[in-house]
Structure 1
């Protein structure tokens, strides 16, 4: 076997050409491991918790409207136009609802499949560019990174955008590579790649909008400029490719524009979607202002969390990149081209959202590129582990850091378990939280800051699993690394992360009663089924629809909104055909107790307001995590009495 030297570039040719690596035998094993990890981490988590309030159920409501009305053009939530999002994710959800019914599994399966396909794309791309081990590392890194798991708990389009954008970039690179070196190994005929590129790019635009064009063309233009490969532009089939792109991406945009005119100030879809949701959002002037921007230090440092545990090996990327900085533009190999394109693309995404308004998950599209670079650097460092003291020291430092973090986490969890050993288990963890304006949080992990001592009793099982994983896994991985059993060491880290993510999902289920209002929707259905309330009762939500968006989904009906003409409901409510579902405080007080029975959902954050408006003139039907259901009159048939339905 040829011993790697320090002059070997980070983006080296396939090591399989110089090492007797039985890829034909190991490839099925690698795919089996990747698929098994996906089943355990992502597929198994599709069944619980139920759909969550806010974005999760809001998006599901839009897809449900598509199924029930057959309107695949105009998104609507609770009967109101929802024009800020591209349509493809909702089409996928609508298909899933048709197949599996209206439930959380159906709502989230497209996203889970997207994660699997993203991991397989990373595996395939890295295996083609580098070697079998790097491909395997890329796949398991994607499946076990904390951010990939965290940001797929609700149905947002980032993983699908990542899949389509990275597919387009891969096809872009394959097109150029096959032109320069036609003998390069290829899965499909060369003519397939440019058209697959334009198709994937069109799907990316249908997933997230114009930002897909910014990222793709930004990365492609910088790449072509640095490599001086402008003369290859004809191989990308720009004329016929653009026609294909428009044939896929343009029809929905055109139809949505034609069908949605005459909104606020005469604006329609075109202004709201393209100007307001793209340009004004980037500038921080979007209307209405219901978004956030992370401080710079958090924006950058939190990527150590989102890419954990693999971010611990990020210094290896810097070491290898610095050593080979003069060779990075040597694009005679597919591996060198891949490394350069990943670096450009990841940097573009990160810099773009550091300037724009942002949420933590906005940089998700860069994860595959970043994790691939870490996988390449780690595999390279493993290959020169004995000869290169600097790489060896940095890997040792990464393991030491991981072990310290693991022991600290295990100790903290063990202390929490010991402190709560005599406390009773309370299934509704929301009753035990500190409740600091929970509904106003915009950060994905904000709820964990509300954990109290008693609430830890509800998390005993996931805490025990996580403590066990952190106490043992990092130490075993370090020991295996010292024995130079590199594959086993890296796989142990992945398995440790897998156990932690399983524990995290169990904890996530414990938060279900607080994050979802499905149980209150079930209470309404139960009262309807036993005749305690009429099925014609008016259901009202107090505040923005996001506070209880799972209620209209699970009830399958439009609800009235009191003081809810805001955020995602605001622009759509200005169209002349918008249903009259918006009530003011005065309307609520005037209509309460008259006409049809009223059932009012009140989030914790609005309880004081409702108490001032209605006083004691309300009857409590159910309460969970501070959220409550009130009605305006006694039940028709109180629960527990005999009656003929």
Structure 2
């Protein structure tokens, strides 16, 4: 059987057949049953509600969330969502499709970089490693900005590497694509689209003493192209909203990085287990790939390996030092790791690198123990997060990888590792997310309650969220929600203009509730006794989802 491990590394073979096969195989992983599970709060609901309001208002310059200004992120992901909604309608599939497409494009572009720089085999292996990294697939199927950011940052750093590597007539094209991709990265998530690629490139020039790249990279015309793509939105949104620059550039960049203002502090080592676990089992071989990079530093592709190491290290270090951390932040590191590990296994195939014995021993032990634990966990835990079927399926995939690692170790056959790791990680990426997210949806989805509002609420009905604001509830209700209590991330928008009718304290809401106007409120079960003490009109339950209730005064 011909596998990615045994195919030729010849760069001259036509890549389109490979791209089509990769697109079909991994397109299925990213898109299958994409709309089956309702949107989860808070991220998925938020990033669906903002483009829904864009389409409703016809304003694609100023982002709004719950109909107040929301400047935490630039608009690229919102624009992609709005396009998806226009094509597919308002659905869970449409909300998640842009992220899934960006994930698939990331796999295909990783293949292109690997094939161009290291050869066809390395490109196929790198794409397979990235596309079978469970964390990458799961986040790609989740409606968040980070996958959009990851693809465009990968395109930015990858195009620069391709330009440096090519040095022919296509180098100019790659440099200009580098500037366009950098501009889109900025439009995806702000200044890190400049800071992180800039840090990687500057360090690369320092360590390799290749200052001549400053003359080659078309700085004057490239900078103009970058500004033509990135600047118009920033100029327009600032002209329409004078308060934007201070909030976006100071609060959302410097204060987010340097302070704990967003309440997302984690220790500096936080991303180490995240990277290791989300790229399991491939992460076991990253140390070997890095060591091999040093041993091969004087070869023609030694500079490319150094560049990939800097790519991963700069981004990893930046987010590790930040005072604000969330799991998806580390996603732009994954393509660099996939390329390093894929190139390492390609050298193992050519016998230019020894069989990775120690990493395989660790992989075999961890995967076997993890697989057995996954199977037994639903039977032993008091309140398991996985069903018996989910534990059996996920645990079996891990256990099969562990057994295959033992077989590959005994025979010293890397092909056994690659085929088994790739196959069972692919299966895990298909069956795992629906199992995991289905249980999560029981706690973090408000689709049923939001749709109930559409059925029960008339045009004069006030809809409120009492001491809990869930963006998915707004999305599914399709209307503005009165916020009672903590304003959370809407605090900035609530202070722009007179929003007193939409942001209330408990006493103000009690007056509204007893005013005779129809009111429907989303409330957590444990907050209901407090509401009953505040109001005269007793709340009537309309619906329930987990610990969330929908109550009315009529």
Give matches, 1:89-128, under 5 Å. Answer: 89-128=77-116
Counterpart residue number, 2:420: 492
Number of the residue aligned with 2:493: 572
How far residue 411 of structure 1 moved from its aligned partner, in angstroms, is 4.2
Instruction: Pick which of 336-345 and 93-102 moved more.
Output: 336-345
- Asked if residue 627 in structure 1 is aligned to residue 548 in structure 2, the reply is yes
Is contact 2:44–2:143 with CA below 8 Å preserved after alignment?
yes
The separation in 1 between residues aligned to 2:208 and 2:85, in whole angstroms, is: 46
Q: How many residue pairs get matched?
A: 548
User: Given the alignment of the two structures, is residue 191 of structure 1 paired with residue 172 of structure 2, yes or no?
Assistant: yes
CA-to-partner distance for each residue in 1:473-510, whole Å, 9 max, x for gaps? Answer: 43135425644553343122122122323233223123
**TM-score normalised by L of structure 1:** 0.79
SS of the counterpart of 1:541? strand
Write out per-residue CA displacement over residues 3-39 of structure 1, whole angstroms, 9 at most, x where no aligned residue.
xxxxxxxxxxxx99xx965777795675455334423
Question: Does the 8 A contact of 1:125 with 1:135 survive in 2?
Answer: yes
Deviation at 1:602, TM superposition (A): 0.7
1:534 and 2:458 equivalent? yes
Alpha-carbon distance in 1 for matches of 2:98, 2:509: 39
Q: Is the 8 A contact 1:222 1:344 kept in 2?
A: yes
CA deviations on 1:437-475 (whole Å, 9 max, x unpaired) are xxxxxxxxxxxxxxx63656x723322211332333431
Counterpart CA distance in 2 for 1:595 and 1:239 is: 65
Match of residue 365 from structure 2? 401
- Aligned equivalents of 2:70 and 2:500: distance in 1? 13
CA distance in 2 between counterparts of 1:319 and 1:102 reads: 49
Instruction: Tell me if the contact between 1:315 and 1:394 (Cα under 8 Å) persists in the aligned partners.
Output: no
Tell me if structure 2 keeps the 8 A contact 1:563–1:584: yes
SS at match of 1:102: coil
Deviation at 1:381, TM superposition (A): 3.3
Q: Which residue in 2 is equivalent to 1:594?
A: 515
In structure 2, how many angstroms separate the alpha carbons of the residues matched to 1:478 and 1:515?
Answer: 39
The range that moved more, 396-405 or 533-542, is 396-405
1:367 aligned onto 2:334:
yes
Q: Could you report, residue by residue, the CA deviation over 1:71-104 in whole angstroms, capped at 9, with x for unpaired residues? A: 1110001111001111111011111111111111
Aligned match of 1:520: 449
Highest Rg: 1 or 2?
1
Do structure 1's residue 553 and structure 2's residue 475 form an aligned pair?
yes
1:241-640 alignment to 2 at 5 Å?
241-261=222-242, 268-284=243-259, 289-322=261-294, 324=295, 328=297, 330=298, 333=300, 335-357=301-323, 358-384=325-351, 388=354, 391-413=355-377, 416-417=378-379, 453=382, 459-480=387-408, 482-483=410-411, 485-501=413-429, 502-526=431-455, 528=456, 534-545=458-469, 548-564=470-486, 566-576=487-497, 578=499, 580-604=501-525, 606-607=527-528, 609-614=530-535, 617-633=538-554
Aligned-CA RMSD value: 2.7
CA drift of 1:121 comes to 1.0
* 1:294 shift after superposition: 1.4
Deviation at 1:604, TM superposition (A): 4.5
Which range is displaced more, 167-176 or 346-355? 167-176
Taking the aligned partners of 2:22 and 2:499, their CA distance within structure 1 comes to 47
Residues 469 and 615 of structure 1: CA distance in aligned 2, closer, same or farther (over 3 Å): farther
Query: Is the partner of 1:51 in helix, strand or coil?
Result: coil
Give distance in 2, aligned partners of 1:608 and 1:119.
Answer: 51
> Any unmatched runs of 5+ in structure 2?
none
- Partner residue, 1:435: none
Task: Using the TM superposition, give the Cα deviation of residue 280 of structure 1 relative to its aligned residue in structure 2, in angstroms.
Answer: 1.1
How many angstroms does 1:116 deviate by? Answer: 0.6
CA shift in 2, pair 1:403/1:163, >3 Å: closer
Q: 1:88 aligns with which of 76, 95, 99?
A: 76
Contact 2:523 2:549 in 1 (8 A): yes
Asked if the contact 2:514–2:537 (Cα under 8 Å) also holds between the matched residues in 1, the reply is no
Between the aligned partners of 1:612 and 1:632, the Cα distance in structure 2 is 14
- Alpha-carbon distance in 1 for matches of 2:40, 2:370: 30
Q: Report how far residue 232 of structure 1 moved.
A: 3.0
When residues 177 and 29 of structure 1 are mapped into structure 2, their CA distance, relative to the original with a 3 A threshold, is: closer
1:409–1:467 contact (8 Å) kept in structure 2: yes
SS of 1:156's equivalent? coil
* Cα distance per residue 1:365-396 (max 9 Å; x no partner): 111112221222233234439x84xx442243
Name the structure 2 match of 1:154. Answer: 142
* 1:34 counterpart residue number: 22
Supply the distance in 2 between the matched residues of 1:60 and 1:192 (Cα, whole angstroms): 35
Residue 43 (structure 2) pairs with residue 79 (structure 1): no
TM-score (norm 2): 0.91
Q: Matched residue of 2:143: which SS?
A: coil
Contact 1:122–1:138 (8 Å) recurs in 2 = yes
Indicate the larger mover: 269-278 or 501-510.
Answer: 501-510
SS in 1 for 2:171: coil
Please tell me whether the aligned partners of residues 552 and 559 of structure 1 are also in contact (alpha carbons under 8 angstroms). Answer: yes
Partner deviation per Cα, 1:113-146 (whole Å, 9 max, x = no partner): 0001101111111111112222112111111213
Q: Given the alignment of the two structures, is residue 63 of structure 1 paired with residue 63 of structure 2, yes or no?
A: no
